Amino acid sequence: MLNSALSYFPDQDAVTEILKRFYVENGKDKKRPYDDVPKLILKPTLFAQQMLIASTFVEVWLAKEGHSGQVGMNLLEKIQLAIPAQIFGAMLAGVDYLLIGAGIPAQVPRVINSIVNGQSLTMKIDVGDTNDKLVLNFNPAVINNVTYPLSRPRFLAIVSSHALVSYLNKDVETKPDGYVIEYHVAGGHNAPPRGKNSTNAFGEAVYSEADLPNLEKIRASGSPFWLAGGFGTPEKIKAAIELGAQGVQIGTLFALSNESGFSKEIRTEILASLDSGQLRVTTDAGASPTGFPFKVVHIDSTLSDINLFNQRTRKCDLGYLRTPFKRESGGIGYRCPAEPIDTFEFKKGVTEDAIHAKCLCNALMADIGLAQLRPDGRLELPLVTIGSDLDGAMDLVKIYADGWSAQEALNYLIGV
């Protein structure tokens, strides 16, 4: 399947090189670890760029295979170094929508417009919490045999406040085609609470009325919007439409469906917990290296167990959430709060940011059955995220105790 998707990639020389370096016929030996892929950096090699573009191409190509529906790809603004290459790969596969949250995606409309015409572009990259910026250069010419112009996907910014809607709408350079307005019960990362002292004694982010988006102001902006976070029931969809939304974005019901990337063991355990009314989902203020609150499902054998988290040997080998910082010597380094604490401190990272930080890169790979094998024989452990509004999932587990398909979730949502 992967090979057939790659056979549609425009640059077949790049594909040959990727397969030569990484493809293992019939899958790798379970006793061997996965090889390292190139890390995200400001000046990546040609091969690293081609691999990132091709991998995003494959993801979208496979999602579009076998139907005529529309496909959107959801990216994290926080992983800035990957954005141009990922957008390009997705556009080569004909992605219909790009959705970007976890940050302020003000540069994305300009990036998309340049890529449509195959023009090289620059993107400003944040340097930690400082006001400094670095520049990432990206040239679509790293991929050969592309016919321009590419068709332009619609771009929706995922935000949690009307203030961000007015900020992004101010300038045509930053204005998206619409918005996904995400409430803080949503799965994955959430916007930080607005109030001061908003972390409780258990390290959970605590939200208040002030964190609810003002839909009146958002409607008045004239931009189309969709609602997300706790909209996974037929009643909530109806309410969203009545509030002026074009529709809703739902994650949790599909993350728990049979087709989801989550491994079967994880889904089975979550469904059993859900069925017995015991499932606990919290908003962990310190788990994500991004500094954003992150929804965590408390189930066995995952990093939600503090003992298992403390037993893990910290290692940063995937590095997607690393951010650049300026070394005292003047050069650029990269650091992540989830890397070994002494290394992070040596790089002048703030210890407090590191203490609870979990390696989401390795944990999310483990979630989908691709846990890395460590030299001492241990496998990296999962850390699972879903939303904290479980109404839709509770309805579905009553009908389908052994799990539901994405189609069954859709039938439930639209009342078929």
Rank residues 50 and 160 by Cβ distance to ligand FMN and give the closer one. 160
Rank residues 92 and 180 by Cβ distance to ligand FMN and give the closer one. 180
DSSP of 5-64: HHTTSS-HHHHHHHHHHH--TT---TTSPPPPPPPP-SS--HHHHHHHHHHHHHHHHHHH
Q: What string of H, E and C letters represents the secondary structure of 239-306?
A: HHHHCCCCEEECCHHHHCCCCCCCCHHHHHHHHHHHHCCCCCEEEECCCCCCCCCEEEECCCCCCCCH
Q: Return the half-sphere exposure (C-beta side, CA atoms, 13 A cut-off) of residue 120.
A: 7
- The residue range among 246-254, 270-278, 312-320, 331-339 that interacts with ligand FMN, by the rule CB under 6 A, is 246-254
Residue among 109, 385, 396, 404 that touches ligand FMN (CB under 6 A)? 385
Residue among 18, 58, 73, 76 that touches ligand FMN (CB under 6 A)? 76
CB of 387 to ligand FMN, least distance (A): 3
Q: 232 with 256: CB under 8 angstroms?
A: no
Query: Binders of ligand FMN among 141-170, rule CB under 6 A?
Result: 158
Which secondary structure element, helix H or strand E, spans residue 99, and what is its range? strand 97-101
Assess 101 for contact with ligand FMN (CB under 6 A).
Answer: yes
Assess 383 for contact with ligand FMN (CB under 6 A).
Answer: no
Rank residues 74 and 139 by Cβ distance to ligand FMN and give the closer one. 74
Assess 251 for contact with ligand FMN (CB under 6 A).
Answer: yes
Residue among 44, 232, 291, 319 that touches ligand FMN (CB under 6 A)? 232
Assess 252 for contact with ligand FMN (CB under 6 A).
Answer: yes
Rank residues 139 and 263 by Cβ distance to ligand FMN and give the closer one. 263
Rg over CA atoms, the chain: 21
Residue among 55, 74, 166, 343 that touches ligand FMN (CB under 6 A)? 74
Q: How far is CA 192 from CA 2, 132, 318, 352, 375, in A?
A: 37, 22, 25, 17, 37
Which secondary structure element, helix H or strand E, spans residue 228, and what is its range? strand 225-228
Assess 363 for contact with ligand FMN (CB under 6 A).
Answer: no
* SS3 category, 122: strand
Rank residues 15 and 363 by Cβ distance to ligand FMN and give the closer one. 363
Number of residues near ligand FMN (by CB under 6 A): 23
DSSP of 292-354: S-EEEE--TTSTTSHHHHHHSPP--SS-TT-EEEE-TTS-EEEE-TTS-HHHHHHTT--HHHH
- The residue range among 106-114, 146-154, 222-230, 286-294 that interacts with ligand FMN, by the rule CB under 6 A, is 222-230
Please name which of 38, 114, 26 lies closest in space to residue 82, comparing C-alpha atoms: 38
- The residue range among 103-111, 223-231, 281-289, 330-338 that interacts with ligand FMN, by the rule CB under 6 A, is 223-231
Rank residues 185 and 240 by Cβ distance to ligand FMN and give the closer one. 185
CB of 213 to ligand FMN, least distance (A): 13
Rank residues 186 and 354 by Cβ distance to ligand FMN and give the closer one. 186
CB of 185 to ligand FMN, least distance (A): 6
Q: 232 with 253: CB under 8 angstroms?
A: yes
Interface contacts to ligand FMN, rule CB under 6 A: 74, 76, 101-102, 158, 182, 185-188, 228-230, 232, 249-252, 255, 385-387, 389
